[in-house]
Amino acid sequence: MLAVYYVGIYSDKQLLGKSAGETVTIAEEMAARNALKNLMGTDDGRKPMKFDSDLSEIPLDFSRVNPSLKSLKLPR
């Protein structure tokens, strides 16, 4: 007989991800990965991303600096 643990990741009573594992730690990690996949919309059956000439037409400004956290007005 083998042990199996089944873990669900919830936020405000909404199931974000779930998975099984041989240990609680493995089940938690796999459930967290499943939750991230669900949040990002990157499930295993998703079509591959297109990396062709269409993306080369996007105008990019390499001289623009990314904003820092200090420059953002975040609520405290």
Per-residue pLDDT, 69: 77
> How far, CA to CA in Å, does 27 sit from each of 5, 21, 76?
6, 4, 34
Predicted confidence (pLDDT) per residue in 40-72, tens digit:
888 778 787 777 666 667 788 889 888 887 887
Per-residue pLDDT, 58: 76
Per-residue pLDDT, 52: 67
**5 and 20 in contact (C-beta within 8 Å)?**
yes
Question: Residues for the chain: how many in total?
Answer: 76
List of E strands, the chain: 5-11, 14-21
What would the mean pLDDT of 19-28 be, rounded to a whole number? 96
Q: How confident is the model at residue 76 (pLDDT cuts 50, 70, 90)?
A: low
